[in-house]
């Protein structure tokens, strides 16, 4: 899919985080992890994490932490209680990376407080979660801050509309972080006068048709927008209608799936001064030619190598989105044209590896299988052929 390129510089390669204290530029790193959110914000000598993607995405976050030599997070924000935003929280909590504070919105539904993902992550370290509400301000460095804009009320129908909405403001520029906010929450914030202009907006709900409405774009007036998604995983994202709205608003648009491993935005003097296509150094190139074929009635998935060269898939991770289940692959090295069949304990027919679950693939609702490499990069995606 084409992206809209404004007068911004596009470079390829891995760029190190600036040395502590030597710049007042803002940098936002948006990982390409499919239809999931994981963003790292750097300003002065601080580093902040907004969401962690699925559990199976944690290796991507770990790769970013190592590549950018991150020795701590000043804060970790969870936008809302969906797996594609909180899945890696527990793995982070069990890592050796210090976290100064765990943040989440005080507004959510359908999850008991003691089971809230941010509470569980903080508890893993014997710490507490800090609950945020509209109007709260978190200082950043010497002259910047996060301001909580919403949610203003609890939405009992759609957890996406309980998303924590943050406005990061600094002399270098501002960023509006929308979580999975859809038009209901947008309209509520607009009616209350909460939305303010920004330099860069992180689109709500992966850029679907119910995000970034015309009134919202008119009020926020962003120079650029970034959408974290994968069309293969969620076919209606990014929505062509949403992309048209962004174009009409004169907003340059970037979609994570169109880049290698991440997009790095640099803000300075109130503008987006640089956009970089990040490809990790020191890790193998992505394997091409692997396909997935899910049979939800046999409860199997077949991995096939369609490339001319062999593919070593040992240590790769297979993920089922509907069941929120992961499997570590054990040993398959597939020659050209070879396949590897994985099935649950009750799978029908022979399998090469057993997924130790009673059942894996839904036969009633759309289920998506994603294969990740050991560095957290999505390699292959397929669904079970059922439309929601």
Q: Model confidence over 328-351: pLDDT tens digits?
A: 998 899 999 999 999 999 999 999
**Among residues of the chain, what percentage have pLDDT more than 90?**
90
290-383 fold? Immunoglobulin-like (2.60.40)
Q: What is the pLDDT of residue 292?
A: 98
Q: What is the pLDDT of residue 133?
A: 97
Q: What is the pLDDT of residue 330?
A: 87
Residues of the chain with pLDDT under 50: 1-22
Query: Whole-prediction pTM value?
Result: 0.93
Q: What is the pLDDT of residue 23?
A: 66
Determine contact, residues 86/108, Cβ cutoff 8 Å: no
Q: What is the pLDDT of residue 382?
A: 97
Task: CATH 2.60.40.1260 in the chain: give the residue spans.
Answer: 290-383
pLDDT in tens, 126-181: 999 999 999 999 999 999 999 999 999 999 999 999 999 999 999 999 999 999 99
Q: What is the pLDDT of residue 81?
A: 96
Q: What is the pLDDT of residue 59?
A: 96
Q: Give domain 10-278's CATH architecture.
A: 4-Layer Sandwich (3.60)
Q: How far apart (Å, rounded) are the C-alpha atoms in residues 119 and 113?
A: 7
Task: CATH 3.60.15.10 in the chain: give the residue spans.
Answer: 10-278
Q: How far apart (Å, rounded) are the C-alpha atoms in residues 243 and 251?
A: 9
The residues, any chain, with a CB within 8 Å of residue 167's CB and separated by 6 or more, are 146, 147, 149, 174, 175, 176, 177, 196, 198
């Amino acid at each position: 899919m084409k992206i809209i390129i404004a007068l911004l510089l596009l470079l390829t390669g891995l760029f190190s985080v600036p040395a502590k204290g030597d710049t007042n530029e803002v940098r936002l790193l948006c990982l390409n992890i499919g239809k999931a959110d994981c963003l790292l914000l750097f300003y002065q000598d601080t580093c902040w994490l907004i969401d962690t993607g699925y559990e199976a995405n944690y290796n991507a976050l770990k790769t970013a932490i190592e590549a950018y030599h991150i020795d701590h997070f000043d804060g970790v924000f969870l936008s809302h209680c969906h797996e594609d935003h909180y899945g890696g929280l527990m793995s982070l909590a069990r890592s050796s990376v210090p976290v100064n504070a765990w943040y989440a919105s005080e507004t959510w539904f359908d999850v008991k407080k003691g089971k809230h993902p941010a509470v569980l992550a903080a508890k893993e370290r014997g710490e507490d979660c800090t609950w945020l509400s509209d109007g709260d301000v978190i200082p950043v460095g010497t002259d910047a801050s996060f301001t909580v804009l919403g949610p203003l009320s609890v939405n009992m129908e759609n957890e996406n509309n309980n998303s924590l909405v943050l406005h990061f403001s600094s002399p270098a520029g501002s960023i509006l972080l929308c979580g999975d906010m859809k038009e209901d929450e947008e309209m509520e914030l607009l009616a209350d006068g909460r939305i303010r202009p920004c330099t860069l907006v992180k689109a709500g709900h992966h850029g679907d048709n119910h995000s970034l409405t015309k009134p919202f774009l008119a009020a926020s007036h962003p120079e650029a927008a970034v959408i974290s998604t994968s069309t293969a995983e969620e076919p209606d994202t990014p929505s062509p209608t949403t992309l048209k709205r962004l174009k009409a608003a004169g907003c340059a648009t970037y979609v994570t799936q169109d880049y290698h491993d991440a997009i790095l935005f640099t803000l300075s003097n109130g503008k987006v001064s640089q956009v970089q296509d990040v490809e990790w150094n020191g890790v193998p190139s992505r394997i091409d030619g692997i396909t997935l074929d899910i049979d939800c009635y046999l409860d199997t998935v077949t991995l096939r190598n369609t490339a001319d060269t062999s593919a070593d898939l040992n240590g790769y991770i297979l993920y089922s989105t509907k069941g929120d289940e992961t499997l570590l692959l054990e040993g398959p090295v597939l020659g050209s044209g070879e396949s590897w069949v994985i099935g649950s304990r009750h799978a029908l027919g022979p399998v090469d590896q057993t997924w130790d679950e009673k059942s894996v693939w839904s036969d009633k609702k759309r289920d998506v299988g994603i294969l990740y490499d050991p560095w957290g990069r999505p390699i292959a995606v397929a669904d079970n052929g059922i439309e929601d």
